Structure 1
Amino acid sequence: MDVGAKLRSLLRLFFLAAVLMSVAVLSAITTIRLTIHGRQETLPNLVGMPIGEARRVVGALGLQLNVEDRLYSDKIPADAVVTQMPAAGTSIKAQQMVHVLLSLGPPKVSVPDLIGRSIRAAQITAVERGLTIGDVAGLYWSQGEPNQVVAQDPPPATTDLQSPAVNFLVSMGPEPPAYLCPDFKGKFIGVVQAELQQAGFQNIKVVSIQSPSVSAGTILQQNPPAGSKITPDTSLEFQVAQ
């Protein structure tokens, strides 16, 4: 498997996990709502129903309808319900929410090749082609400039779309060097701060506290603790005797 295929596979796994998590949360919310006392209604089948009609049917039952998203569909006409949650036949309390996905009709666009472009340029091009921006994830990537698209989903030239959203995996540049944090306790803050800044650490916070038994400027506590993995981007905090 080449590098591009591996990146696309990583991107798909990332966004599949996000979708599954969203569905799980939504299902949990629906389950909790169904436990509330009140009049029960049996939810009809809304799939294939135009959104206006679906709203009237749901409203007549004392329920509410929310459009979660829109998907391409070769089978369901535009602006009709593709899927619903809870499913048809479910008993649901009055005033509760019914979630639906609407059809965009059959796909009419071909996904452009956005790999290698800056994320901003890629997003502009996607929107100009009638697509929407999905999720954007970043990873350290030695072969890509910072903010450069290294993978996309759907892949370039895809026409059989289910969703108009394009998801991006973006380079954050080479991974910065990592170090094991030393034990600075008992050392003088002036010396430690100078050494850290020389090594590229700039996010340093010093908090002075009263400690009459210790020489002023002595480090009493540190965060992250000794042995932690740190990079030049890590924020370091020291409590120092006043």
Structure 2
Amino acid sequence: MTKRPDDDRTTARPHDSTKSQARLPYSPTARKHESTGREARPHDRPTAQQHHSTKRKARMRGSTIHEQILIVGQLTVLVGVLIAVGLSSAYLGMRLAVRGTEVEVPSIAGKPVGEATEILERVHLKREVMGERFDPEIPRGVVISQHPQPGRTMKEERKVQIILSLGTKTHPVPDLRGSPLRVARLMASDAGFELGNISEISMSEIPKGQIVQQFPPPDSKDLLSPKIDVLVSGGFLERYVMPDVTGQSLNSVVLYFEKNAFKLGNIRYGDYPDAARGAVVKQFPEPGYLLTEQETINLEVAR
């Protein structure tokens, strides 16, 4: 086979241009922009002017926050001052309102009760008769003393307490002993007196309701009070022996009391592990005590 002249020629290889190109120096900025697909530009780096501008903005933000804190603090102080002023004004207003309702107590001692009442009403005060007593130097119906004393201050519509004179005692103290209580009241009233404290005593030999003793005694002199205290007979009081009801059930004890006219008082419940539930564990008065019809019996029951 005959060779062609062209077969002896060596085939030329394409020239690798990348190997022949000179390599550029390494640059981080260039590397960065290689990844983004664009070339690095001069303005991508922060300039000194931009750096100073950033610092100035940071200082301005710090200054603004500081000013805001100062404003909030000033507002807080202002609100506190306003609240304090408001509370002080309210307190002073209340004090003035209270003082505005206070009046000076006038002098009414030595005045007839009618005139004394009118004087008090002019300053919006009232009177209250606390008592009466005999006084030969002061006419009947005249104020002997008062409380509070003149010149003091008190609120409007309050009461001034007074003592009235009964004048000179014209009737002797009546003898009320031996009289029934209802009759004794009438006798005392007719003589210009009235019954004071009434006490009762059990006396089987004197009928119930009859006056046993009195104070002051009959025909007493130099009296100040028109009241006569008396001691009245309670008559014969039937007494009963207090039974022992401990250990019994409460229901049975209640029925027993009702049947025998005993008066049941308070019932208390407590924890008593050794006692049956609902059983009476204590009683007052104790067994054997002499009871009257008016006395009550208190029990303590296990729960």
TM class by shorter chain equals 0.5 to 0.7
Q: CA RMSD in A?
A: 4.0
Which residue is 1:79 aligned to?
141
CA distance in 1, matches of 2:255, 2:98: 65
CA distance in 1, matches of 2:258, 2:127: 56
Aligned match for 1:202, one of 261, 264, 268: 261
Give the SS at the match of 1:158.
Answer: coil
Gap runs ≥5 in structure 2: 1-96, 268-275
Which shows bigger deviation, 126-135 or 105-114?
A: 126-135
- Which has the higher relative contact order, 1 or 2, with Cα contacts under 8 A spaced 6 or more apart? 1
- C-alpha contact 1:184 1:219 (8 A) present in aligned 2: no
Which residue is 1:231 aligned to?
291
- C-alpha contact 1:222 1:236 (8 A) present in aligned 2: no
Give the SS at the match of 2:145.
Answer: strand
Give the SS at the match of 2:223.
Answer: coil
User: What is the Cα deviation at residue 48 of structure 1?
Assistant: 0.9
- Residues 235 and 67 of structure 1, relative CA distance in 2, 3 Å threshold: closer
- Residues 223 and 80 of structure 1, relative CA distance in 2, 3 Å threshold: same
Which residue is 2:126 aligned to?
64
CA distance in 2, matches of 1:123, 1:183: 44
Which residue is 1:167 aligned to?
229
Q: TM-score, normalised by structure 2?
A: 0.51
Instruction: Calculate percent identity across the aligned residue pairs.
Output: 27
Kindly indicate which of the two structures has a greater share of residues assigned to helix.
2
CA distance in 2, matches of 1:120, 1:95: 38
CA distance in 1, matches of 2:124, 2:288: 56
Residue by residue over 1:29-67, the C-alpha shift from the partner in whole angstroms, topping out at 9 and shown as x without a partner, is xxxxxxx93433232332111122212221222211222
- C-alpha contact 2:199 2:230 (8 A) present in aligned 1: yes
Aligned match for 1:186, one of 235, 247, 272: 247
- Residues 47 and 196 of structure 1, relative CA distance in 2, 3 Å threshold: same
CA distance in 1, matches of 2:115, 2:257: 66
Q: Does 1:46 align with 2:108?
A: yes
Amino acid at match of 2:262: N
Structure with the greater alpha carbon radius of gyration = 2
- Residues 79 and 192 of structure 1, relative CA distance in 2, 3 Å threshold: closer
- C-alpha contact 2:123 2:156 (8 A) present in aligned 1: yes
Give the SS at the match of 1:231.
Answer: strand
Which residue is 2:215 aligned to?
153
- C-alpha contact 1:148 1:171 (8 A) present in aligned 2: yes
CA distance in 2, matches of 1:193, 1:58: 59
Gap runs ≥5 in structure 1: 1-35, 208-214
Residue by residue over 1:117-169, the C-alpha shift from the partner in whole angstroms, topping out at 9 and shown as x without a partner, is 22223222222333222221112346644322222122100243323222211
- C-alpha contact 2:171 2:191 (8 A) present in aligned 1: yes
Which residue is 2:190 aligned to?
128
- C-alpha contact 1:183 1:225 (8 A) present in aligned 2: no
- Residues 104 and 232 of structure 1, relative CA distance in 2, 3 Å threshold: closer
CA distance in 2, matches of 1:148, 1:108: 27
- Residues 100 and 191 of structure 1, relative CA distance in 2, 3 Å threshold: closer
Q: Does 1:117 align with 2:208?
A: no
Q: TM-score, normalised by structure 1?
A: 0.62
- Equivalenced residues, count: 196
Which residue is 1:37 aligned to?
98
Give the SS at the match of 1:37.
Answer: helix
Which shows bigger deviation, 167-176 or 222-231?
A: 222-231
- Residues 187 and 161 of structure 1, relative CA distance in 2, 3 Å threshold: same
Amino acid at match of 2:261: Q
Amino acid at match of 1:117: S
CA distance in 2, matches of 1:223, 1:41: 58
